[in-house]
Amino acid sequence: MHKPLRIIKDDARVRLTQQVNLTSAVRAALLTLPEEFTETELFERIAGISYTGDPRMVLPAENRGKVGNIVRKQSPQFKELYHRLVVGLPGTHWAASGTVIQQDISARARSAHLKKLPSELLTGVKNNYSRRGAITPELLADESAYWVHLAGNEALPRVLVDGS
């Protein structure tokens, strides 16, 4: 549900679930992007979430440019879907008529996005850092410091994208 889609039967529960899902996708994408990037980069990152780990994407018959094609053909719909969500998040700036997005990439700002990701994804991130020995007892004792530490770690984008 990260791409523009048409909901056939309007239902408040579906709309709410979609908003939560879209916001989580934006947060995950922002955590993997630099301080300044284009809307196309954002849209491709978000659309790519749906295909991460999809075994079909490694087959030679699958179009490697699939995500880019989806974004190019639906760019106005992506902007309509995501612009309001992005500018509603703290630390982001995206002019309505612009194509460049800026974000605060400080560890504190990124921790606000990180700790609001879906619980299953957060569990994977925590387990990844625990296996690396990057979590000390002192960090576990201070939840705020824990999230800032994880969000400031340079490996976080790789951990979110491919779990390594």
pTM: 0.85
3-class SS of residue 100: strand
Answer yes or no: is pLDDT of 164 > 80: no
Q: Give per-residue pLDDT as tens, 8-52.
A: 667 788 778 888 989 999 999 999 999 999 999 999 999 988 776
Query: Which of 106, 70, 100 shows the shortest CA–CA distance to 83?
Result: 100
Q: Give per-residue pLDDT as tens, 85-126.
A: 999 999 999 999 999 999 999 999 999 999 999 999 999 998
> pLDDT-derived band of residue 71, with 50, 70 and 90 as boundaries?
very high
pLDDT at 51: 72
Q: Give per-residue pLDDT as tens, 136-156.
A: 767 777 888 889 999 999 999
